A = this chain, B = another copy of it.
Amino acid sequence: MGLCAAVGRKLQTEAGGAPGSPPLDAGTQTISARRTICHPNERSEFVPIVCQGWAALSVAMPDGRRQILSFLLPGDIVSMAGFFGPMSGRIVEAITDVTVRSFKRSDLQALLFKDTALFETVMKAWLEEEERGIQLAVDLGRRTANERLARLILNLADRLAKRGKLHGQSMEFPLRQHHIADASGLTPVHVSKVLGEFQRAGLIEINNRALTIIDAVALRRTGGML
C-alpha cells in the first residue's frame, strides 16, 4: 500500500504507546463535511492524519480561484513536508465527515531520529509525495481535460485499491464536481460535460456517490496510460 498511508497507520498504532508513557498523539477530532480542518495561516505545530473519510488539500487565491493539490484518503498524512515545517497557506477541507488525529511535530521528529528505519520510510514517502506533485504539474500544464479526468479517476482507484476499498471495479466517490474541477484546473461545467461523455462512451458509471470503471482499458487509453 502507499507509503504515506503505511506511515500514518504505524503512527496511529504506536500512539497507543507503552502504558505509563505519555500518549504520542495530541488529540483526535471529527469534522463534518464541507468544514475546513486547517485554516490558511495557521502556523501549526501539529501534523494531522486522516483516519476516516475524504478530505482535500488545496491552495486558495485571494480572488476565489483555488487549486486542489491532492485528495486525502483514510490513512493519509496531510503532507509529509509537515514533518519538518508548518504548512502555511494550505487549506484542508473535509469532503465527507472526517476524523483526524494530530501529532506534535516535535514528538514526531524525536521519534524519527531514534528509529532509522522509520526515518528511511518517511523520506521515501516524502519522495513519493513529491513525485505525485510533479505529475500534477505535468497534468495541468500539458494534458487535455479528458486526459486529466481519466487519470484522476484511475489514480483514485489505485489508491483505494491499496487500502482494500475497491469493490470489484466500484468505489465510493464522494467528490462533488467542483472538487474535481479544482483538482484538474477546469470548471465544474466542463467537468460535467466530460464525465457525461465518459459515461455515454461506456467508460465509467456514476450512481449514488459511487463510481464504477466499466472499460478500464479504454479509460487508461484516454488517460495516456498505455
Tell me the complex Cα distance, A224–B140, Å. 19
Tell me the complex Cα distance, A138–B133, Å. 11
Assess A67 versus B185: contact at CB under 8 Å? Given A123-B84, A127-B81, A133-B130: no
> Which of the residues B61, B85, B137, B224 comes within 8 Å of A137, measured between beta carbons?
B137
Within 8 A of B (CB), among A135-193: 136-138, 140-142, 184-185
Does A126 belong to the interface (CB within 8 Å)?
A: yes
Q: Are B140 and A141 in contact (CB under 8 A)?
A: yes
Q: Are B126 and A61 in contact (CB under 8 A)?
A: no
Q: Chain B nearest CB: distance from A207 CB in Å?
A: 28
Assess A133 versus B142: contact at CB under 8 Å? Given A84-B123, A127-B84, A127-B85: no
Tell me the complex Cα distance, A142–B133, Å. 15
Does A9 belong to the interface (CB within 8 Å)?
A: no
Does A15 belong to the interface (CB within 8 Å)?
A: no
Q: Are A67 and B133 in contact (CB under 8 A)?
A: no
Tell me the complex Cα distance, A151–B60, Å. 17
Residues of chain A touching chain B, judged by Cβ–Cβ distance below 8 Å, are 59, 61, 63, 65-67, 69, 81, 84-85, 123-124, 126-127, 130, 133-134, 136-138, 140-142, 184-185, 224
Known: A66-B142, A67-B142. 6 other contacts (CB 8 A): A67-B138, A69-B134, A85-B123, A85-B124, A85-B127, A140-B141
